[in-house]
Structure 1
Amino acid sequence: MEILPISFYSQPTLELARSLLGCQLVKETQEGRASGYIVETEAYIGPVDQAAHSYNYKRTKRTEVMFGSAGFAYTYVMHTHCLVNVVSGEEGSPEAVLIRAVEPVESIELMYDRRGDKKEKDLTNGPGKLTKALGITREDYGRSYQESPLYIASGFTPVSVSQGTRIGIKNSGEARDFPWRFWVTDNKFVSR
């Protein structure tokens, strides 16, 4: 497993959202290391995207990390779930890629302990599910994806990638129709 170089994250956001598919998201905790292959992502381009927390360059304590360099974690709580993103775009242009689903790879029993008695496909098939299963929390906000305890490593190259509209952003004007969601075609861990 080779940690991806920082240069990987300098791609335009839509390309990065696609390129992250098949990469391995890893989180190390006191309980052990858990990981999964990224199988679903959504891109958010804040300056022009009403669905983004940073729409129209909205700078808050929560969105601050998005204005920095690409390759850092943007975590936040939505309802009761922590979600994890990869900061993208150039400095000053607040963009990010939400990791929506992963295929479990390492420490699957630990994931069951964290998530309860679930079907295997339900362990990590959503953005809140995968963070709980891997042990990713708000405390990971601002971490570089270059080193322990949270990093992204090489994985596999998807045979086929599908693209469509994002999920759960109904009140975001025309942005709700942007085809900025990407997933590994026919992967059973994709959220929908």
Structure 2
Amino acid sequence: MAADDDGLRERKKRETRFALSQAAIRLALERGLDAVSVADIAAAANVSERTFRNYFASKAEAVVATHVVRGQRIAETLRERPADEPLWDALTHAVVGQFEQAPGAATPPPDDRYPAALRKLLAEPAVQHEVFRAHAAARDELTVAVADRTGTAAEDLYPQVVAAMVSAGLGTALTHWSRDPAQPLGPLLRAVFDQIRPR
């Protein structure tokens, strides 16, 4: 019973974290990050400000939180892929799978303001800092996962280069997508990974 209780608590924590992140993204896109308060985000997620601060140190951290989870999941999913699957096929599946629309995720409003609002949000220095941290953490985790999969060490050059290429490819795809968020991200990611795949 205790294990079930622990599992339920962890699921509720993930749901609360996700709800706060999505509320932060939605409100920041609608109003601009500076015009949104922690109280606004907490109210939109139906929790207290104290609960928000239990999960995040800043609004920018909340905005980027979903991306952080995606980065973690890329390494986890790579480990779950079939052992005999070619590395770049497994990497492509691991990355693309994290950017499929999640239930309840923030979606673009039905007007042409979204691209400009997204670019403005991504240009915020605090958000850029959190994105940099997210990419660095994801790259480190992916380096270890690639090393494990290829029988190398995380300190070796090969897994570090592979992880750096994945990080650069993902960043390039997201930058390209932010110019036209109406385009589906999955095919764009596949196109990028097809171009950086070793021949």
TM-score by length of 1: 0.30
Which structure has the highest strand share of the two? 1
Which structure has the highest helix share of the two? 2
Q: Rg: which structure is higher?
A: 2
TM-score by length of 2: 0.29
- Report 1 or 2 for greater relative contact order, CA contacts < 8 Å, sequence distance ≥ 6: 1
